[in-house]
Amino acid sequence: MEVDRGFDDHTRDFLNWFLAQPGAVFRSDLMSIEDLRGRNAGRGIIAKTDIAADTVLFTIPRDAIICAGTSVLKDKIPGIFDLDGVAQSDPEDGDDAGSSQDSWTLLILVMLYEHLQGAASRWKPYLDVLPSSFDTPMFWSSAEVSELQASALVAKIGKEEADRMITTKIVPVVRAHEDVFFPAGSQKLDDEQLLGLAHRMGSAIMAYAFDLENEDGNDGEGEDPEDEWVEDKEGRTMLGMVPMADMLNADAEFNAHINHGEEALTATALRDIKAGEEILNYYGPLPNSELLRRYGYVTPKHSRYDVVELPWDLVEVELKERLGAGMTSSDWDKARQRVRSDDEFEESFVLDRSGEDPDPTGQLRGEVIFSGLPDELGAQFKTLIKAAKKAGNSRIAAELLEDKDKRKELYLQAVLAALRARERQYPTSLEEDEQLMTGQLSRAQQMAIVVRMGEKKVLREAQAWVQEQAGVANNSSREPDAQENGRSAKRRKL
């Protein structure tokens, strides 16, 4: 039986193992891996002395990375690891499940294999510092999930999709190669245990893995980290677990950067770091909802990227009152359907604020403000008016198409009502949540309330912006078109 080693023992063994990798460097004179469990942050790396900007903090040789290319699993079941033929499939799309592997499922298989080898894995001391449980909503009870209230996050947790992916793509491979996965004399896991272990590996990959495709100095975290995320999710890139790079915690303001070199990855200080400061990486401009879904934590600084989804249904209901009046219900239905069959049709719109991205040293400047509705929402509104004119020969619609001011007024009224309706979908108010936050809460409850409060704040700011625009519309003879005030919702579409 394995001896239950302490947290610090595991940290020390991991560091010694890391330093023994050919080409690995860790500047122990400048920083140390610390126990940050007191603030629910697991392990993290803290500066021991002042560190100058551009200092290389540690170096990870590529051979120390766990990925499809470095694990011996590829030699044992080569058919699965036809790296050139890695599937372009989306693991969330159940239709093609079972047909092929992708970079996610391959890494899950590799991690399962390495884990099951125990002390025989060359990554054992690293695997020992990876968490065995996670704070992501995937592992929450239904009561905890219900604390997210009307957040769009609830629909994105994806437990069933993950179960399906594991059952169709992971379990059959392990069962077909039990002699490979289970070392001689070890106990074979049953399907339920395998499912649990695969979930654990999948969650570790979600929160720890790096995209290894770019070896040209661009680590994929630069220009649009969400593209990187989308790419990962679709299994188009090579994913890997990068020991030490993943001991860094992260925030929306950060001070270190991982550079992907040909032979090694290096962590560099982006600016001067003071003794005692935590060395932080960056996961991208993620709203707290997404940070929670993927990494199992939230931070005050990430709230600047909070978003809320406004379903088109809510806008449409308001427009039915105002635009559908005078149309038969079947004509109104035709108009609705016409909008829905449009190639550009969107079920919901992501509302967010605008503000500056972090500067090259990882610092944030200035406030973020709500400054417009998505262009696509305005365009869809106009499509509905045109459809109403066509389907029902609506006089109101015809007038609206002629009169830009009236059209804008209706748009703002409908959106304002929809925003209010959206806010009512959350059973508690922002003020009640603020009150709740002062009481005794579990970590999951606390994080769920932070997420839903962030969304309610965006809704409030959006309402204030729309009201201001409506006021301008009533008082000004030449006001800009609602769409001119809008901006693209694409940037942070999650």
- Tell which residue, 182, 53, 16, 54, has the closest CA to residue 114: 182
Report the residue number, 45 or 385, with the smaller CB distance to ligand SAM. Answer: 45
How far is residue 55's CA from residue 271's CA, in Å, rounded to a whole number? 9
- Pick the binder of ligand SAM from 113, 297, 305, 426 (CB under 6 A): 297
SS3 assignment, position 103: helix
Is residue 208 near ligand SAM by the rule CB under 6 A? yes
| Cβ closest to ligand SAM, residue 36 vs residue 379 | 36
Q: Is 302 in the site for ligand SAM (CB under 6 A)?
A: no
Residues 6+ apart with CB under 8 A from 484: none
- The residue range among 9-17, 72-80, 246-254, 423-431 that interacts with ligand SAM, by the rule CB under 6 A, is 246-254
- For the bound state, the minimum distance from the C-beta of residue 248 to ligand SAM, rounded and expressed in Å, comes to 6
Shortest separation between residue 479's beta carbon and ligand SAM, angstroms:
43
| Nearest distance from C-beta of residue 301 to ligand SAM, angstroms | 9
Residue 88: enclosing H or E segment and its boundaries?
Answer: none
Among residues 15, 24, 170, 247, which is the contact residue for ligand SAM, using CB under 6 A? 247
Interatomic CA distance for residues 440 and 449, integer angstroms: 12
Residue 306, strand partner residues: none
DSSP 362-414: S---S--B----BHHHHHHHHHHHHHHHHHH--HHHHHHHH-HHHHHHHHHHH
Beta pairing partners, 374? 487
Kindly state whether residue 246 participates in binding ligand SAM, applying the rule CB under 6 A: yes
181 binds ligand SAM (CB under 6 A): no
**Shortest distance, CB of residue 217 to ligand SAM, whole angstroms?**
21
User: Which residues are CB-neighbours of 182 under 8 A, at least 6 positions away?
Assistant: 116, 188, 189
Shortest approach of ligand SAM to residue 17 CB, angstroms? 15
User: Residue 36 CB, nearest distance to ligand SAM (Å)?
Assistant: 7
Residues 9-68 interacting with ligand SAM (rule: CB under 6 A): 40-44
299, 371, 413, 428: residue in contact with ligand SAM (rule CB under 6 A)? 299
**Which region, judged by CB under 6 A, interacts with ligand SAM, from 145-153, 291-299, 373-381, 479-487?**
291-299
Would you say 21 or 249 has its CB closer to ligand SAM?
249
Least distance from C-beta 450 to ligand SAM, angstroms? 12
User: Of these, 137, 235, 287, 296, which contacts ligand SAM (CB under 6 A)?
Assistant: 296
Q: Is 110 in the site for ligand SAM (CB under 6 A)?
A: no
Binding of ligand SAM by 446 (CB under 6 A): no
CA distance 36 to 27: 19
Candidates 249, 255, 463, 485; binder of ligand SAM (CB under 6 A) is: 249
Question: Which of 250, 258, 307, 388 lies at the binding interface for ligand SAM (CB under 6 A)?
Answer: 250
CB of 137 to ligand SAM, least distance (A): 13
Q: Answer yes or no: are the C-beta atoms of 131 and 125 closer than 8 Å.
A: no
Span of 15-23, 96-104, 109-117, 245-253 interacting with ligand SAM by CB under 6 A: 245-253
DSSP of 123-168? THHHHTTS-SS--SGGGS-HHHHHTTTT-GGGGG--HHHHHHHIII
Question: Which is nearer to ligand SAM, 138 or 462 (by Cβ)?
Answer: 138
Please give the C-alpha separations between residue 73 and each of 112, 121, 243, 299, 343, in angstroms, as whole numbers. 10, 11, 19, 38, 44
CB contact burial 11-22 (16+ within 10 A = b; e otherwise): bebbbebbeebe
Pairing of strands 264-269, 249-250: unpaired
Q: Which of residues 117-156 bind ligand SAM (CB under 6 A)?
A: none
Q: What is the dihedral of CA 358, 364, 366, 367, to 10 degrees?
A: 90
Q: Which stretch binds ligand SAM (CB under 6 A): 107-115, 153-161, 295-303, 316-324?
A: 295-303
* Collapsed DSSP state (helix, strand, coil) of residue 228: helix
Does 374 sit near ligand SAM (CB under 6 A)?
no
251 lies in the binding site for ligand SAM (CB under 6 A): yes
Q: Please count the residues of this chain forming the interface with ligand SAM, following the rule CB under 6 A.
A: 16
Q: Is 295 in the site for ligand SAM (CB under 6 A)?
A: yes
Q: Which two tokens stand for residue 190?
A: 């049953």
The secondary structure of residue 346, as a DSSP letter, is: -
Q: How many CB atoms lie within 10 A of CB 177?
A: 17
Rounded to the nearest whole angstrom, what is the least distance from the CB of residue 81 to ligand SAM in the complex? 25
Residue 213 within binding range of ligand SAM, rule CB under 6 A:
no
Phi, psi of 4 (to 5 degrees): -80, 100
Q: Give the residue closest to ligand SAM by C-beta.
A: 42
Report in angstroms how near the CB of residue 44 gets to ligand SAM at its nearest.
5
Residues that bind ligand SAM (CB under 6 A): 40-44, 207-208, 246-247, 249-251, 295-297, 299
